[in-house]
Amino acid sequence: MDHMGTQIADIDRMPRGGPRASCLDRLLETDRLEYLDRDSEGDAAMEARKRSVVRALERTGEFFGHHDKFAEIALAEIADVPDPKVLELGAGHGGLSRRLLDAHPTAEVTVTDIDETSVAAMAEGELGHHRRARVQIMDATAIDAPDGAFDLAVFALSFHHLSPSQAARAISEGTRVAGTLLIVDLPRPPAPLHVMRLLTMLPFAPFVPFVHDGVISSLRTYSPSALRALAAHADPTIEVELRGGVLSEQIVLARRTAA
C-alpha cells in the first residue's frame, strides 16, 4: 500500500502532476472546462456537443472493452460478498453499471451522475427499468448515503473533472460510504511523452468535441503522487493502492484503516 502522511495546506494549489511535479509537467495542465463540465441550459449547441461526447465515450468504451475491463476489476473487489451493494459515481452513460449487473446475479447498483440530462437518459433506458438498479442525481463530493452503505464505490474515467479540493472530498466521501473506493482514470504520462501525445490531438480538437474534451482531460488528469497527496489530504487514515498509470489506465483502490 502507498500512503503519504503529510497534508498540503492549500490543496487547490497542488499541480496535477503532484507536489514535486517538474516545471514542464506544471505547464501541462489547464483550468479550461471540457464540454461535459459546461452549463448548457438554454444552449442547444452546447448540449449537442455534450451529448456527442457522452455517445463517443460509450462507443469507445464498447470498442476497446473498457466497460468489461473495469467491471472485471470491480467484481474482483466484491467477489467474496454474497449480495454486494455498488455505487457508481460519475456514470455518464451507465455502461459500466450495465456490465456489473449482467455479470453479477445479485449485485444491487446505484447509478449516479451530477448531470441531470445524463441521469434522465440512463433512467429512460435499460438501467431505469432494471430491478436491481437505481438511477439518481448525486454529487460525488457530497454523497447522500449513510456511512458504510455500499460495499464498493466506483468512479471510472471521471475523476479528473474534479478540482483538487473536490477530488479530496470525493475520496473522503467514497471511502466513508463504501468499504472500498475504486477510481479508474486516464494515465498522466511523463511530461515529454505527454507533449507528444497532445501534439497528435490538438489539430482535431477545434472540430471534434470528443477530441476537444480528450485534450483537456489529459491536462487535468492526476499523477500517482497527486493521487496519494489527495488521499492524505482527505484523511490520514485512508490508504491507497495504485496500479498501472504510465500508458494504461490508472487504477486506484482507497480504503480507510484504523487511525
Q: What is the pLDDT of residues 104-138, one digit of tens each?
A: 999 999 999 999 999 999 999 999 999 999 999 99
Q: How confident is the model at residue 4 (pLDDT cuts 50, 70, 90)?
A: very low
208 closest CA partner among 64, 57, 11: 57
3-state secondary structure of 180: strand
d(CA 13, CA 35): 24
Of the chain, the percentage scoring pLDDT greater than 90 comes to 93
The phi, psi pair for 189, rounded to 5°, reads -70, 165
pLDDT in tens, 168-213: 999 999 999 999 999 999 999 999 999 999 999 999 999 999 999 9
Q: What angle do CA 34, 121, 37 make, to 5 degrees?
A: 15
CA distance from start to end of the chain: 16
pLDDT in tens, 8-22: 668 999 999 999 999
Q: What angle do CA 5, 24, 236 make, to 5 degrees?
A: 10
Give mean pLDDT, residues 156-178. Answer: 97
255 DSSP assignment: E
32 closest CA partner among 141, 186, 163: 163
| Confidence (pLDDT) at 247 | 77
Single-letter residue type at 76:
A
Q: Is the pLDDT of residue 6 over 60?
A: no
Q: How confident is the model at residue 246 (pLDDT cuts 50, 70, 90)?
A: confident
d(CA 21, CA 210): 27
Of the chain, the percentage scoring pLDDT greater than 70 comes to 96
Q: Is the pLDDT of residue 167 over 50?
A: yes
d(CA 5, CA 223): 17
Give mean pLDDT, residues 156-164. Answer: 97
Q: Is the pLDDT of residue 1 over 60?
A: no
Average pLDDT, the chain: 94
**Whole-structure pTM value:** 0.94
Do residues 139 and 119 lie in contact, with contact meaning Cβ atoms separated by under 8 Å? no
Q: Is the pLDDT of residue 101 over 90?
A: yes
| Confidence (pLDDT) at 18 | 96
d(CA 217, CA 23): 19
| Confidence (pLDDT) at 7 | 55
Domains of the chain (ranges; CATH) run: 11-256 (3.40.50.150)
Burial of 10 (0-12, 13-18, 19+ CB in 10 A): exposed
| Confidence (pLDDT) at 8 | 67
Q: Is the pLDDT of residue 88 over 50?
A: yes
Q: How confident is the model at residue 2 (pLDDT cuts 50, 70, 90)?
A: very low
| Confidence (pLDDT) at 98 | 97
3-state secondary structure of 177: helix
